[in-house]
Amino acid sequence: MTEVLRPYQTQVIADFWRAVDAGQRRILLVAPTAAGKTVIARTIIEQARRDRCGSLFLAHRREILTQTSKRLRSIPHGVIWPGGQPRPLEMVQVASVQTLHRRAIKAGIMELPEAGLVIVDECHRVVANSYRSIIERYPKAILLGLTATPCRGDGRGLGNVFQIMIQCPQVGDLIELGFLVPTRVYAPVDPDLRGVRVRHGDYVEADLADRMDRPQLVGDIVTNWIKFGERRKTVCFATNVRHSIHIRDEFVASGIRAEHIDGTTPMDERDATLAGLNSGELDVVTNCMVLTEGWDMPVLGCIILARPTKLIGLFRQMIGRGLRPAPDKSNCIVIDHSGATFRLGFAEDFIEWTLDLDHKAENPTHAARKGDQPGGPKIAECPECGTARVGGMACLTCGYLPAPAPRAVGVIDGDLGLVDSSRRAQSSPDDLRTRDEWHGMLAGIAAERGYKPGWVAHQYRKKFGDWPPHGARPMPVEPSLEVRRWVRSRMIAFARRRKSA
């Protein structure tokens, strides 16, 4: 039975084919956790197949390949991975990057599948040699990259591979739409990382492990989980294998059911451990760089960050594991021992992704909080409940808001509007121009995210106090940063009201 597409999924699929019709052949699609990358890919594969165009779907993890194969069950397809049953004559193939590279390119024991469409999942990895060597052998094919974090390891864009970027709604939008849950962040520790070397844009693992894998820090992880974690099903991200094992041992010593997995853990043992977490037999699973991508467990309710990082992509991948909704799950608790929240912001923040090789993805809202932009509020710990909150704003968990200090009130000259019989001031010509500009930019956001016209009218009313002119149909305009920030602030307010209700 065909799955019903969400409006924004329909929109980005249409945008993809429009780009193809315009001559683009290297297209990057940005879709956060739970935005439905696999559903989008399946629809595009189905449409290509109707046009007699073969497809090759590439991924690097067994979980992604298995999930994709299940989604494609109504479409005849072959699978290329260890233990898979090959069906080389099918027009659609799902392949492990490592297996296909080893068999078809290095060993030459199989032919590369014919394909006019190549889809690469988790395509922020596409700069690796194994990916590039496969892609280069399909010079005339359409390349579609899928990822939640469209940047290289050092945060820079992927413009050396892709020509155009299409974006689904971001995390904050999907929370407002009910497709993701918000985070509740506790940041009890901002570790001292002075002197830790940086290589390829991130901390050197050996230095990092030496700094973080200390008895007091490891013990604090358990203490704060007991304090804040609500005994939810939890995954902990550690700096290296030894650190992960030490954290696991500390949990076990405190009577908490915990297990550790890493890249050398046998697959059946890893599956059994994760099944135990899902069923409730385990409370905590610690890991080192195993569960950052391609793995989802909707009932996961808590993330522990014990691995500091400077990489916005890795940070958001780790937190993304806990954002999927589940029954009776109102949010995902994030216990940040890494200081990443102070460096990189909240998962809900709007990110300015880029294809530019010379620029990095940016979080403009957090840049203001850190003081990179003058006057910006900083992230602080709520003195009432301990969660991380934006300074000057009410705590989203308990509602705490410090009383503002008294200050002098400045007076400036201003124009008054004529109040009509409705007791509203009539708009000046400048105000009318501003309203028209905002109307167009709100329409631009709606077009980006697949929102209906009614959303534009309601946002206009929130901003200006009355409905837009009857029958007005503004032309969508590229939104300014000010408009994007205002819409984001309304999302936060909406989420707060929903939580209070």
On whether the CB atoms of residues 65 and 79 are closer than 8 A, the answer is yes
Rounded CA-CA distance 126/6 in Å is: 28
Q: In sequence order, which residues have a C-beta less than 8 Å from that of residue 101 and are 6 or more positions away?
A: 130, 133, 134
On whether the CB atoms of residues 140 and 20 are closer than 8 A, the answer is no
CB-based contacts of 259-267 (< 8 A; 24+ apart in sequence): 259/284, 259/285, 259/286, 260/285, 260/286, 260/287, 261/285, 261/286, 261/287, 261/290, 261/291, 262/287, 262/288, 262/289, 262/290, 263/288, 263/289, 263/290, 265/290, 267/62
Residue 435 has what DSSP assignment?
H
On whether the CB atoms of residues 20 and 163 are closer than 8 A, the answer is no
Q: Of 482, 481, 434, 480, whose CA–CA distance to 460 is shortest?
A: 434
Residue 101 has what DSSP assignment?
I
Rounded CA-CA distance 462/470 in Å is: 16
DSSP per position, 12-68: HHHHHHHHHHTT--EEEEE--TTS-HHHHHHHHHHHHHHTT--EEEEESSHHHHHHH
Q: In sequence order, which residues have a C-beta less than 8 Å from that of residue 459 and are 6 or more positions away?
A: 442, 487, 490
Rounded CA-CA distance 415/431 in Å is: 12
pTM metric for this prediction: 0.76
Q: In sequence order, which residues have a C-beta less than 8 Å from that of residue 426 and are 6 or more positions away?
A: 417, 418, 419, 420
- Residues 479/480/486/489 CA torsion (nearest 10 deg): 90
Tokens of 81: 């991975």
On whether the CB atoms of residues 348 and 322 are closer than 8 A, the answer is no
User: What spatial distance separates the first Cα and last Cα of the chain, rounded to whole Å?
Assistant: 36
On whether the CB atoms of residues 454 and 467 are closer than 8 A, the answer is no
On whether the CB atoms of residues 464 and 435 are closer than 8 A, the answer is yes
Q: How many CA atoms lie within 13 A of 91 on its CB side?
A: 14
On whether the CB atoms of residues 324 and 296 are closer than 8 A, the answer is yes
The enclosing H or E element of 458 equals helix 453-464
Tokens of 445: 């956001």
pLDDT tens sequence for the chain (501 residues) = 467 899 999 999 999 999 999 999 999 999 998 899 999 999 999 999 999 999 999 999 888 898 899 989 999 999 999 877 789 999 999 999 999 999 999 999 999 999 999 999 999 999 889 999 999 999 999 999 999 999 987 778 999 999 999 999 999 999 999 999 999 999 877 777 888 888 877 888 888 778 888 877 788 999 999 999 999 999 999 999 999 999 999 999 999 999 999 989 998 999 999 999 999 999 999 999 899 887 889 999 999 999 989 889 899 999 999 999 999 999 999 999 988 898 899 999 999 999 998 888 888 878 766 654 444 467 888 887 888 888 777 787 877 877 665 554 444 443 333 344 333 444 455 566 788 888 989 988 888 887 877 888 888 888 888 888 877 888 888 888 788 878 877 776 666 565 555
Give the three-class secondary structure for 390. Answer: strand
Per the DSSP assignment, residues forming a β-bridge with 78 are 93
- CA dihedral over 435, 441, 445, 447, signed as positive or negative: positive
> Are the folds of 7-168 and 183-349 the same?
yes
Rounded CA-CA distance 320/343 in Å is: 17
> What residue ranges do the domains of the chain occupy?
7-168, 183-349, 429-500
On whether the CB atoms of residues 496 and 396 are closer than 8 A, the answer is yes
Q: Which residue has the tokens 């915990």?
A: 258
Report the 3 state secondary structure along 102-171: HHHHHCCCCCCCCCCEEEEECHHHCCCHHHHHHHCCCCCCEEEEEECCCCCCCCECCCCCCCEEEECCCH
CATH of region 7-168: 3.40.50.300
Give the three-class secondary structure for 427. Answer: coil
CATH of region 183-349: 3.40.50.300
Burial category of 370 from C-beta neighbours within 10 Å (exposed 0-12, middle 13-18, buried 19 and up)? middle
- Look at residue 431 in the predicted model and tell me its pLDDT: 64
- Look at residue 152 in the predicted model and tell me its pLDDT: 85
